[in-house]
Each structure stands twice: as structure tokens, then as C-alpha cells.
Chain A
Amino acid sequence: MWEFIARSLDASTIFTFAALGELINQRSGVLNVGVEGVMLFGATFGFIAAQSTGSYLLGFLLGIAIGGLLGLLHGFFSVTLGADQVVVGMGIWILGFGLTTYIGNPYTGPLGMERIPTILGLSPFFYVGIALVVVSWFVLSKTSLGLRIRSVGENPSVAEVSGIDVTKTRYLCVTIGGMLGGLSGAIYSLFYNPVWNYNFLMGWGFIALALVFFSMWNPLILLGGSLLFGTMWQLSLNPQLVLPGVLSRYIWRTIPFVITIGVLLTMSTKWFRVRWGAARPEALAEPYVKQ
């Protein structure tokens, strides 16, 4: 049983990092639907680096770096060039999906390294994740920087006239978001599921995206959501814990995706919709053109 809980919490860590990164993105008004692509890059490059050099540190660092680079790329297209952010996000996803399939292919298979030391049976990242959530919440709601980020996401022209550099702020956020996304991918491939296979993230990037919407851009709710999703994912892999013998294991694999759709549905109910509409950064996904 503890094994199950531990795995759930480990899974939730990855959701936390990926979704938190995207939350920061979106709070500044930039939408990245290609989180899956960023995670794939982080996972693949981190895996390759770690396996080739034998150093976990290098693997994680490379994952963060490549995520940050992708964040910058996204920022360049979305902020500087003002392109349609959904198109850019799709581009990043397919780029990730396509390139990592080819690049990672020679490394298909187990990582073959000793597991990262755990604290209380959980990866150290779990605790880092919780800390990051609290820090993000604090920064966003209580500091000047947070106010600036939120203003840029709500009404960039007002922010600009008030003396805030919208471009710089957005670049900052997409880079941080990208780094967190890349890191989450690296955690996946180096700790949670250290066996490389193409497209092995199984849609987690998109689930993380749904999580951000569900959390109404509040880091604390996001943490709760990722714990929920992590548990649900583990459940789908171990249906025997809940309903032994019922339905083939393939049907069980569909459950997390069904539940994600369900979650999106609950968000359309009246209660949710009004609060969601109010919490949504008003300028989300709108390119900002300096007057």
C-alpha cells in the first residue's frame, strides 16, 4: 500500500513541476499548449546526458537547460514576433515529439543506473516541488514582482504605461516555465520511469495543461490537483487495488484520460465558470503590440 502511495506522490511531483511552470507562463499572459514537447525534450536529453556521463546532476541540469531554451523559443515566437500562441505551442509539441523520437531511439531501454537516494521513500523532488509551490504562491500574491507578472497577464498595455517592461517580464516567465517543464520531464525519465521509449510521456503534458486550467491559476490548488492526478494515474496502472478482475488492463489505462475530460467538464458548471472567468488572466494568449 505504501508502495502505491509513494508512486502516486512521485507521479504527482512531475505534474506539479510541469503545471507550475505553465501556470507561471499563463499568469504572465503566455499560453504554451506544447508543454508535452518541452517535457519530452527534457526527458530525452536528460536521459541521454545521465546515461552517457553517469551523472544524474548533469542529466537534470541539461533537462532544465533545454527546457529553458525551449521556453525562450516559445517566447521569441509568441512575444517578440506576436504569432498565434496556440500554433507555436503545437509547433513545440510536434518538434519535441518528432525530434526526440529520432534522437532518443539509440537509447531505448532502461537507464541502468542506481536509483536516486530517496527521502522517506519519496524522491527529493517531491519536497522541492511543495516548496516551489509555496514560494510561487507567495511571490505571485505578495510581492511587487508578482503584481507585475499578474498585471502583464491581465492588461499589458496598462502595465506598460505604468512603467513595467512587458516583454522582459514575459520572457522571464516563459523561461522559468520552460525550465520547470524540462525539469519535470527529466524527473520522469531519470526517476519515475527510467526506461526510454518514444513518446513515453503518455500525454502527461496535456494533462498538466488541463491541471493549470483546473487550478484556476492558484499554485496551492494546483498542488492539490496534481496529487489527485498522480494518485489517479497509479490507480489506473493497478486496478487490482480497487476493482480486481474487472475489465482488461487496457481499459483501465484509459481511465486517467477519461477523468481529465471529466475534470474539464466540471469546470464548465456555473459555479466554476464564474470563478474561472474571474481568475483567468485577461490577456492570456493575446499577443501584445507596443503602442
Chain B
Amino acid sequence: MQKGFLETVKRGETVLEARGITKRFPGVVANDSIDFEIKAGEIHAVLGENGAGKTTLMNILFGLLQPDEGEIYIGGQRVSFRSPLDAIDLGIGMVHQHRKLVSAHTVIENIILGHPRAGRILNLKRAQEEVKELCEKYGFQIDLRAKVWQLSEGEKQVVEILKALYRGAEVLILDEPTSALAPPETKTLLASIEAMARDELAIIPFITHKLPIVLAISDRVTVLRRGKVTARLDTGRVTEKGLAKRMVGREVIFRMERTRVEKGKPILQVENLSALSDKGFLALNSVSFSICEGEIFGIAGISGNGQHELVEVLAGLRKAEGGKVILEGKDITHSSSLERWRMGVGYIPCERIEVGSIGDFSLVENIAMNFYFDDDFSRRGILNYGKIRKLTEEIISEYSVMAPSPDTKAKNLSGGNLQRLILARVLSRRPRLVIANLPTQGLDVGATEFVRNKLMEAKKERAGILLISEDLDEVLSLSDWVAPIYEGKFMGVLPGEGAKRESVGAMMAGSRLKG
């Protein structure tokens, strides 16, 4: 293992310091005179909403961006990075939110990729032994010969951590380390982080909204808002509410008001539905449930447990291997996705850019995606672009989509605005069944609030809503019924009100509902 630049730094001494970091982009100051420092053996979290400047700061610390002003000191000496490679050589490691691994390669291949000591002919054996030592030290359990695409999200993250450690990282930057993990995996990860801190590594988790995590693990926390540091506190002395206030500048509602709507007749009935994954394995295993008018049915689970396949079967984009799907009394198991749109199914996909919209199309053409087949907008094969345009203008104003004009290309929209557009497009059809797949993923607090409010509106209009979310709190606060999914099966179906977070979290990771 490469020995770090910092091996002489002892516990308690400042290992990394940033002073007066400023970075400007056209129209915005992303980082404004930010000071940050972390000592060896410390866990110092950086907290902030999307757009607060976290990502910019993180990229500067890792050498992906150059600051306009300010200095960085490592072990007391001033440094500057031309690229992440300089940062890596100086002992800084980064674990990204979106996995930066080669899925087709094995774990050990990923770890030694690009390592200066990899040698001409790969000596996997020696590397494996060295990595095994690291695993034992910090409590990581992982099969080094497995291919990365076979691993769970948590395991993939472990691989990235090992990769950084194997390159000699003494300072670890973690980007949203727990956002894709289930509660049990989170526990394991936190334990490993604490083990690494005890070994005098310095850890900087960058976090958006998992405030409990911040409180649980960090020694200090720095809060960013609109590019500036608004607080730097010892974690022992602050509460969740206090942190949130400093993040957002106002009181934030943590729990949505649960709207009571009278239950109606069933809109969706699913009987023993099964489906295969893209790789040919059984991803959805004989699932049955139903959703009535005015109900929100939430599926809680870590991605990769069958929710995605379930949603695609319901939308008509994936073949059902067995079972039935009944919409308002009609069997639609073999209906095409176009027929389902016509019958009142509205699918909000999680892949905003690849599936939910067409980047090179204008906003008008994007709206047309769900309306081109309607008799209102298409007569004898000719599209009435004028009418679609009018609809687009209405949607833009009603849903506050920020765009210069309806002719703007969708690829020029920000993530939040794109989601507003997609939501608007689907909900404007007044669907009977709304399928919302990860609707708030990657959105900031403002946009998230908006999406949830719109779903509530749909609920009041007596649609049935299927909600897939990886945010346990979101599912629990919005849904009338919660079904944790694990390996393609529902571990139980609980009423949303009064559901205990711990038990749902446990079910998401495989334990069954008792009694």
C-alpha cells in the first residue's frame, strides 16, 4: 500500500485546511470565502442543500476544479492541484455519490486500476492480500473476485473506499455516503467510518438531507447556504431542527400533513405478478396488492429489489412472466403502453433525461410525448402543434417551469425544472393511476416540496398513486399503505400512519413482518 504524504501527522493535528475558497461561475458565486479544516482522526461533515455550493467545494478539494481565490493546505504546506491525480498523490481520496466503478470488471481489478504499482503483468494475488488486510482492519466484508455489477450499492461503495485507501488516502471525502443505502447497510458503513477515524484517517462526509446521520457520526459539522458558511458547530451541541434552519434559512416541514381522503373503489389490482430482470433473473416474485381511489401506495426499498421491474410491467414497458394487472376492472396485462396511457395510466419515470424527456426536443415537442395520440391534438394523422403549444404555455405557468420559451430545448432545463415539466405533462392528463418512480430523486428541498404537493393534489382528485421511493421518510410520511420490497417480494403491507421507521427499515433489508 502506498504510504501517504501525511504519515507523520498525528491525531489531533490539522490535516487539511482550506482558506477563503471562492469560486465563481457565470451568474453565480458558488463558493464565497469558505474556510474549512479537518484534523486527523476527525469526522467533519459538510451539510447543505443542492445548490448551496457543496459539490463545488468538494470538487475543489479533490482537484476537479480550481478555486478562483483561496488556498489549500495539506499537513501545513500549501498545495494546488492540477487534476485529481495530484490530490490522490497527496493523500486525498474521494468516494462519489454515483459509483465510479467499471461494472464489468472484478472488485480487485477496479481497486488496482491505474495504480502506479500495478506492474506490467497483473499480479492480482499480491494485491488481493494487501486489500484483504485493509478489509480486516476496518470491518469490510466483500468478495474481491466478484464482478462489480453483481454487488449491492453498499458493497460498491465499499469497493470505492477500498480503492481510495489502497491508493494511500489519509483524507477521505464521501459524497452522500448513505443516500443509496438501507438502514442495516448504513449501520455497517458508519461503523467502518468510525474504525477508519480511530485509525487517524480524516473523513469528510458531504450530506444533503440525512440530518440524523450527521448527528450520529460527525464530530463537527459545517453548514453551507448559498455558497457561504453559515455555521460551524460541534455536533454534540446542535439539534436536527437547528441544522435544518441553518441549511435552509427557514423552518422546514419534516412531516407532510397527512391528507385524509375517503377511500373509493379499487383502481389497480395486481395478482401474483412476476417479471424478469434485464439479466434474466426473477426480479419480481408473485406480488399482489391493490390501490383504491384516493390512496397513495408506497413501496419502500433499496434499488435493485424489483421495484423498477414492477413499475415497468405496470406501465406496459416490460413483459409480465406471470400474473395479472387489472385497471378499473379491465385486464390490461397484455395491453401495450400506448393503450395504457389511453386508459388512464400515467407513468412518471425515474430516468428524467433518458426516458422521461427528449433533450433535443423543444418543450412543446416534449409535452407532445404524452398527447400526440389524443384525438384532441391529432386529427387524421396530422398533429395540431398550435394546440399543443397552448397546452405547453399553460403548463409552464401553472407548474412554474423556468424556461425562456416553449421552444427551449429540454436539455437546457435544470433537473428540478425538467421534473416539473414531466410531472406537469403526466398529471395534466388527469390519470386514474399515477405511477411515480423516484419522483424527488436529486431535487432540492423546494422542488421536492412541490412534487409532493402535486401528488397530494392528484390524491385529492381521487386518483390512485403508486409511489416508489428510496427515501424512507418520504414514503412513510406520504403513503396510506407502505410495502417494503426485498428481492422481489413484499415483506408486508402496513398502514402508513403509525408505521415504525425501524421495522420498515428492517423489512427493506429482508426481515419479515411479525405476527
Contacts and interface: CB of A to CB of B under 8 A. Distances in A.
Majority DSSP secondary structure for residues of A touching B: helix
A69 interface: no
A155 B103 contact: yes
A154 B105 contact: yes
Majority DSSP secondary structure for residues of B touching A: loop
Contact of A154 (B64, B103, B114): B103
Contacts of A274: 279-280
Given A162-B114, A163-B85, A147 B103 contact: no
Nearest to A145: B120
A144 B117 CA distance: 10
Interface in B328-346: none
A150 B102 CA distance: 9
A157 B114 CA distance: 12
A265 interface: no
Interface of B: 64, 84-85, 88, 100-105, 109-110, 112-116, 118-122, 149, 163, 278-280
Contacts of B149: 278
Nearest to A164: B114
A168 interface: no
A154 B102 contact: yes
Contacts of A163: 85, 88, 114-116
Contacts of B104: 150, 154, 278, 281-282
A143 interface: yes
Contact of B119 (A144, A150, A151, A164): A144
Contacts of B119: 144
A223 B446 CA distance: 58
A157 B94 CA distance: 14
Interface in A142-180: 142-145, 147-148, 150-151, 154-155, 157-159, 161-164
A144 B121 contact: yes
Given A158-B100, A162-B114, A163-B114, A144 B120 contact: yes
Contacts of A148: 113-114
Given A144-B122, A154-B103, A291-B64, 20 more contacts: A144-B119, A145-B120, A147-B112, A147-B113, A147-B122, A148-B114, A150-B105, A151-B105, A151-B113, A155-B102, A158-B100, A159-B102, A159-B114, A161-B84, A162-B115, A163-B85, A163-B88, A163-B116, A278-B104, A282-B102
A143 B120 contact: yes
A144 B85 contact: no
Nearest to B88: A163
Closest 8 CB pairs of A and B: A162-B114, A163-B114, A154-B102, A162-B113, A155-B102, A158-B100, A144-B118, A154-B104
Contact of B121 (A142, A270, A281): A142
B35 to A, nearest CB: 26
Contact of A270 (B84, B109, B280): B280
